Amino acid sequence: MFTHIKTSKANKEVVSNLTRKLNLGAENVIARIALAYSLKSNNKLDVKNLKDSGGKEYSRKVLFGDYDKYYLALVAQHYQLHISNQDMGKYVKLHVDEGLFLLNEEVSSNLNKDGFNFLVKKLI
pLDDT tens-digit series, residues 101-123: 999 998 888 766 678 887 777 65
pLDDT tens by residue, 66-115: 999 999 999 999 999 999 999 999 999 999 999 999 999 988 887 666 78
Would you list the DSSP string of the chain? ---EEE--HHHHHHHHHHHHHH-SSSHHHHHHHHHHHHHHTTPPPPGGG-----S-EEEHHHHHGGGHHHHHHHHHHHHT--TT-TTHHHHHHHHHHHHHHHHHHHHHH-TT--HHHHHHHHH-
CATH 1.20.1090.10 fits 4-123, yes or no: no
